[in-house]
Structure 1
């Protein structure tokens, strides 16, 4: 196994971004307009030092993507969306960043369960340090929260096991790696779209007004007569850069 950045191996960009998300990942997240600001290939061109790739031989099997921004004090309640905007604003305004935000870690479905996400996380911390960024923050999307969509994220994130570690497996991975749960981004990612888009993404009828439970969603989707809005909570986790 080898870890590289796209600054070191720019030719890996296409193969790295071809790594699929795990089966069952919610398709409706492709409706996030904010994500257009930090499209994968756009990040690869502008911040290649902040895209890490795990290689098995010559084959990319996992990737980690970050964007840099200048801290504005407290981590924002609008989480993923707001940091994506901050990163774009700072790049346009030539603001010197001091923090890296991890937007995603993706492991090829055929390589799950081998600890690759922890390897990529450590590599992202090292890449942030090499880029002169003092910390890495992550608006963590704990996928197991989808089993209890009506439970407030603050209550979900606060649940611990007998050993004091988070009950959620992905939050537990971050804490074991030295991360600190720093708060909840109550409206971290938002998708708003006409009902026909939601029907196409989910296969559900969307034929009634109100809250609808959608597979893979961490919270109910709010449906009106013409459109639906999904507001996803995430959990802020902070890491110091470095290994």
Structure 2
């Protein structure tokens, strides 16, 4: 068992040999969530300095995949198609030479067996440190709440509004962000869209997918819409935009 006495953060720019280990790190993404590998490869190659790996000895225990883009700072202009659009904007803004002033964290993940060691908040702090070092003014995150899948029929707005007696979000992952200085600024209702044939969905989930209409799928934040007639199913995942202003982001406890 690892001790996490001195976790270290390195970027893929510093340690390109860690790319495979970063990609293959155990995480909790459902099988059906499959970001475009071509786009991910572009992000890793073009912005390797913003892909972070947390190491305990030689073991990868957390990762953060981030991309820069140009944002005017107005919460209203963050895209409703959060995850997908942030990646697209990063590609366009990078290609067109626009000022890349904001870092978007597409994923912050911790190996499941390491979660009790507070690595999620520490990895978020490392993302902020990386953003500051490169002159960004904000970190924004299309957050995938960790327990929304338990209530897939509940609208995301209603879920986000659930708080504990201390005023913090009821959802553990949203709570980590708020504790680390994040501000919940809105819902991106169509953050990621996954479309596949019924055969693909059966392979991903083990469910029959033999009836048209909404289907509750383990791990999905919303029901999956199935069309037997057209031999396809579509999952549209909502996320929550969280903003971390770098002048207020906590750095205490960040890995070094």
TM bin, normalised by shorter chain, reads over 0.9
Deviations, residues 137-189 of structure 1 (Å, cap 9, x unaligned): 00000131011000000000011111110111110000000000010001111
Contact 1:143 1:216 in 2 (8 A): no
Pairs within 5 Å for 1:88-237: 88-225=91-228, 226-237=231-242
TM-score by length of 2: 0.88
Are 2:27 and 1:26 aligned? no
SS in 1 for 2:170: coil
Deviations, residues 184-212 of structure 1 (Å, cap 9, x unaligned): 00111101111111111011000001000
SS in 1 for 2:32: helix
1:64 aligns with 64
Shift of 1:62: 0.8
CA distance, structure 1, for counterparts of residue 101 and residue 189 of structure 2: 24
Shift of 1:37: 5.2
Are 2:82 and 1:76 aligned? no
SS in 1 for 2:187: strand
CA distance, structure 2, for counterparts of residue 86 and residue 211 of structure 1: 31
Q: Kindly report the root-mean-square deviation, in angstroms, between the aligned alpha carbons of the 2 structures.
A: 1.5
Shift of 1:84: 1.1
Contact 1:174 1:237 in 2 (8 A): yes
CA distance, structure 1, for counterparts of residue 112 and residue 43 of structure 2: 23
2:46 aligns with 46
Q: Which runs of 4+ in 1 moved over 4 A?
A: none
**Structure 2 unmatched runs, 5+:** 1-6, 252-256
**Structure 1 unmatched runs, 5+:** none
